[in-house]
Structure 1
Amino acid sequence: MSEENFGFATRAIHVGQEPDPVTGAVIPALSLATTFKQSAAGVHTGFEYSRTGNPTRNGFEKAVASLECAKYGIAFSSGSATTAAIINLLKSGDHVISIDDVYGGTNRFLSRVANTQGIETSFIDISDSELLKSTIKSNTKLIWIETPTNPTMKMVDIEAIVKTVKSINNEIIVVVDNTFMSPYFQNPITFGADICVNSISKYINGHSDVIMGIAVTNNEKINERLHFIQNSVGAIPSPFDCYLANRGVKTLAVRMRQHEKNALAVAKFLEAHPLVEEVYYPGLESHPQHELAKKQMKGFGAMMSIRIKGNLDTSNKFLSSLKIFTLAESLGGVECLCELPCVMTHAAVPPEQRAKLGITDTLIRLSVGIEETEDIINDLDQALKLANEVSNKKRKMNH
């Protein structure tokens, strides 16, 4: 059997991770070398200098590309560095269309860094195909999609958007940020996306101890250009981080199954909770794009946002009362994390844009971990009740 015919979990463990041909070590050695011996000037074994290529990094890139159903993988020192490298495919005068509800760091880069390079960005609801068509201009070169979005869990039909964009201009590059779903639950490349990006720091590594990003593609020209940028700019991950991420990716399948099991139970519990106004989770039938989620994804993941009753004080009391959930930015680790987007991950988004997107003082993002399901639910319940008690006391005092 060839590698591409193996199942996901098998590929996660074996692709790019062949035993050492010299020692037979089952786990490939961590290569910390910065330079490599050449048998003659310009004659080498495929490695010259570790910025250009490193055995540990190459193995990891190959593994993730396989999991994303892509031919090529290009890893960077962070998800943001990955974004910057992709935008470096463009030139001054080019136009980008980004989904409006996008990760705050991506919004910040496009609106406050790329614009200084002469690259214009329009933030729109890309799921509206007519709006998308009317926004595409002659200088539009790239479409940036997140699905589900961060933090309101809005979804985009990747295949439909690719068809719309390519029917107007086949040269426009369609990029999909797949961080929330990971390769286990969604593969944008199979729906026609030109580039798929993941923040490795999240589910793929899964242990909250690596900062890294990756772009994968089937397009040879894009791959060559991104490798050139990777080498020229030098925003590469360290071999040790690649080694850790290689370790993490081996358990991605089993972790994602438990993440989703917990998240679905949590979402159903919160949807029925009297102190919760709304739950945004694609696995719920109440999600307006639940049918799209079933069609496009192989599962629903473990990210959700909830809108609780009360105000900013209520949110802060809820967050500070949690025992199992840790109040921290990031997501996708084995542990439960929570955060308040309006003052944390999306603080850089202009207030008027946050208001339009519904990123209010009571919208809380949850990254459901792989702890015991009952413990997670009990933790959320006690924190909601404590937050409500504080809100009620303040209301009575004000009256």
Structure 2
Amino acid sequence: MSEQSQQQLGFDTLAIHAGNGADPRTGAVVPPIYQVSTYKQDGVGGLRGGYEYSRSANPTRTALEENLAALEAGRRGLAFASGLAAEDALLRTVCKPGDHVLLPGDAYGGTFRLVSKVVAGWGVEWDAVDMADLDAVRASIRPNTRVLWVETPSNPLLGIADIAALASVARESGALLVVDNTFASPYLQQPLVLGADVVVHSTTKYMGGHSDVVGGGLVAADPELGERLAFHQNAMGAVAGPFDSWLVLRGIKTLGVRMDRHCANAERIAHYLAEHPRVTAVHYPGLPEHPGHEVAVKQMRAFGGMVSFRVAGGEEAAVAVCDRAKLFTLGESLGGVESLIEHPGRMTHASAAGSPLEVPADLVRLSVGIESVDDLLADLTQALG
């Protein structure tokens, strides 16, 4: 499918068909799982279809990478073994010792750990800033700033950053704008269209959608940067395996219809929590009182399936709510069809404890699934007590 023909198709059509042509050998409408390590060459250096070894390229992974690029309107997609593997490859590609990375003030704990404990160890500097405050972002940029790293919505406080405005700031300073689009998915938001340089995904989450695969992805707007990322993907080797690639491809086919239900359920729950006497704050960009609501309306199709809230009574009360939930499964991760509940301070964001990115101790995070929303509301009612 050519780039020109893709531009004429709707999102759900692309999700099903991009990279997913019928198998030329059998006519199978689902791409095969090429569970293979090496490929027969037609003479020394004579490659069939460009495949020689599955770390370098694999047909099932190629199908996923083409699909990711199409959905994000990018020039090059790359699939990795996890979201953090994708982030690591990106940072090692675009940063060198002495460079500076600007993180959001409430970044995902794994991203914070990677930058502050690993990447910083080989000489890359970092700071955290509220990405919704453009003046603060400009004031935090240094001459050596190489990357503006953005999550929108952010994890776990659901902060919203103006991607188009930050793209202008990044261009002014000569930095790359990297957007972690995991919470939104390309169905709700396309950062490259808004001016970002690279999109990051944990495909474990909404892209896979069924809590049965771990994976990551990068999509680059610039083909030259895409080639550099591909070189590092091969050189470092943390690639998505064939079966994992196939599982993500399968999940993406229903991404649009799943996200519609995730968003509808989350909006009902956010409004319910906003009226609950034991809830002191609700973080959901679909609420008119959310400070990023107007920006979210501008750049998102809908507001996502993630909700976080703070509980009266402090940390122990928040932990108790997590323990009492029944339909909401206590667990890390997000984006599956089943609803999850967690205490970020003790779970996904424990690595940020004692840092500028530490999350409130009374915070509870929900990944709202696609169950019947009345059942989810009843579970929250009993969990809140």
Asked if TM exceeds 0.5, the reply is yes
Q: Give the distance between the partners of 1:128 and 1:294, measured in 2 at CA.
A: 18
Q: Is 1:242 equivalent to 2:245 in the alignment?
A: yes
The number of residue pairs the alignment matches comes to 380
Query: TM-score under structure 1 normalisation?
Result: 0.93
Letter of the 1:375 counterpart = D
Shift of 1:352: 4.8
Deviation string, structure 1 residues 2-55 (Cα, Å, up to 9, x no partner): 222111111111110101112111111110111111112111121111000000
Alignment partner for residue 330 of structure 2, among 327, 330, 339?
A: 327
Q: Counterpart in 2 of 1:390?
A: none
Map 1:82-97 to 2 at 5 A.
82-89=86-93, 90-97=95-102
Letter of the 2:302 counterpart = G
Structure 2 gaps of 5+ residues are none
Letter of the 2:242 counterpart = P
Aligned residue for 1:244, secondary structure, equals: helix
Map 1:88-237 to 2 at 5 A.
88-89=92-93, 90-169=95-174, 172-237=175-240
Q: Give the distance between the partners of 1:181 and 1:299, measured in 2 at CA.
A: 9
Q: Counterpart in 1 of 2:382?
A: 382
Kept in 2: contact 1:280–1:287 (CA 8 A): yes
Shift of 1:302: 0.6
Closer, same or farther: CA 352–33 of 1 in aligned 2, 3 Å: closer
Aligned residue for 1:269, secondary structure, equals: helix
Q: Counterpart in 2 of 1:372?
A: 372
Q: Give the distance between the partners of 2:257 and 2:355, measured in 1 at CA.
A: 41
Q: Counterpart in 2 of 1:391?
A: none
Deviation string, structure 1 residues 370-398 (Cα, Å, up to 9, x no partner): 0001000010011101xxxxxxxxxxxxx
Letter of the 1:320 counterpart = D
Query: Quick check: 242-251 or 129-138, which moved more?
Result: 129-138
Q: Counterpart in 1 of 2:79?
A: 75
Closer, same or farther: CA 361–136 of 1 in aligned 2, 3 Å: closer
Kept in 1: contact 2:11–2:71 (CA 8 A): yes
Kept in 2: contact 1:342–1:354 (CA 8 A): no
Kept in 2: contact 1:104–1:346 (CA 8 A): yes
Map 1:22-41 to 2 at 5 A.
22-41=25-44
Kindly, what percent of the aligned residue pairs are identical?
45
Structure 1 segments (4+ residues) deviating >3 Å: none
Deviation string, structure 1 residues 275-328 (Cα, Å, up to 9, x no partner): 111110001111111111100111100111101111222122211111100110
Structure 1 gaps of 5+ residues are 386-399
Q: Counterpart in 2 of 1:362?
A: 362
Aligned residue for 1:351, secondary structure, equals: coil
CA RMSD of aligned residues (A): 1.1
Kept in 2: contact 1:354–1:360 (CA 8 A): no
Aligned residue for 1:348, secondary structure, equals: helix
Letter of the 1:132 counterpart = V
Which structure's CA Rg is the greater one?
1
Alignment partner for residue 336 of structure 1, among 336, 339, 345?
A: 339
Q: Give the distance between the partners of 2:314 and 2:134, measured in 1 at CA.
A: 35
Q: Give the distance between the partners of 1:127 and 1:259, measured in 2 at CA.
A: 25
Map 1:282-361 to 2 at 5 A.
282-354=285-357, 359-361=359-361
Deviation string, structure 1 residues 251-274 (Cα, Å, up to 9, x no partner): 101100110110111111111111
